[in-house]
């Protein structure tokens, strides 16, 4: 596995997660508070996607190595795609959507943590650290929103 393949998987993961949040935004459009939460979170995931696109452009233009890296999480991507299809077919209540999103963000944070320190260049490692920090911020925002439901 090489850096370009790993970063491409990251791009697809971020894009799929954003699409899940966009679905929640549409489904909960009648409640502006939740619609704004999902819109903001989806936009942040698209921003993460673009950061990985840039990282891929940079990494693929220079020699980088991920010899120590495990295969990218095809299982995580497949899980996200299954969730995306499920939420497109089934409208979840705000609490269910938030609980699901918290679980997804925690999985993604764990994924980013696993990828830190795998690359020979520190800039790529820093990207994964930053993504993990953003995932944790998403979890905090979602937990706050969930707390307001109770």
Range of the domain at 118: 3-149
Residue 108: which residues within 8 A CB-CB, separation 6 or more? 13, 17, 76, 131, 135
Say what the pLDDT of residue 130 is.
76
- For residue 60, the tally of other CB atoms under 10 A from its CB is 15
Tell whether the model's pLDDT for residue 131 goes beyond 70: yes
Q: How many domains does the chain have?
A: 1
List, for residues 73-126, the tens digit of each pLDDT value: 678 889 999 999 999 999 999 999 999 999 998 888 777 666 655 566 677 667
Q: How far apart are CA 47 and CA 59, in angstroms?
A: 18
pLDDT score recorded for residue 56 = 85
Confidence of residue 22 (pLDDT cuts 50, 70, 90): very high
Which CATH number belongs to the domain containing residue 7 in this structure? 1.20.1260.10
Checking if the pLDDT of 1 tops 60, the result is no
């Amino acid at each position: 596995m090489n850096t370009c393949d790993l970063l491409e998987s990251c791009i697809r993961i971020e894009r799929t997660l954003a699409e899940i949040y966009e679905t929640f935004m549409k489904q909960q459009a009648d409640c502006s508070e939740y619609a704004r939460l999902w819109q903001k979170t989806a936009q942040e995931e698209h921003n993460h996607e673009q950061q990985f696109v840039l990282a891929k452009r940079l990494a693929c233009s220079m020699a980088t190595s991920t010899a120590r890296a495990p295969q990218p999480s095809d299982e995580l991507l497949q899980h996200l795609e299954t969730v995306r299809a499920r939420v497109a077919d089934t409208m979840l209540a705000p609490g269910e959507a938030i609980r699901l999103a918290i679980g997804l963000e925690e999985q993604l944070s764990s994924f980013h943590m696993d990828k830190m320190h795998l690359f020979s260049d520190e800039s790529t490692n820093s990207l994964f650290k930053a993504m993990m920090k953003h995932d944790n911020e998403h979890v905090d925002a979602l937990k706050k929103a969930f707390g307001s439901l109770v």
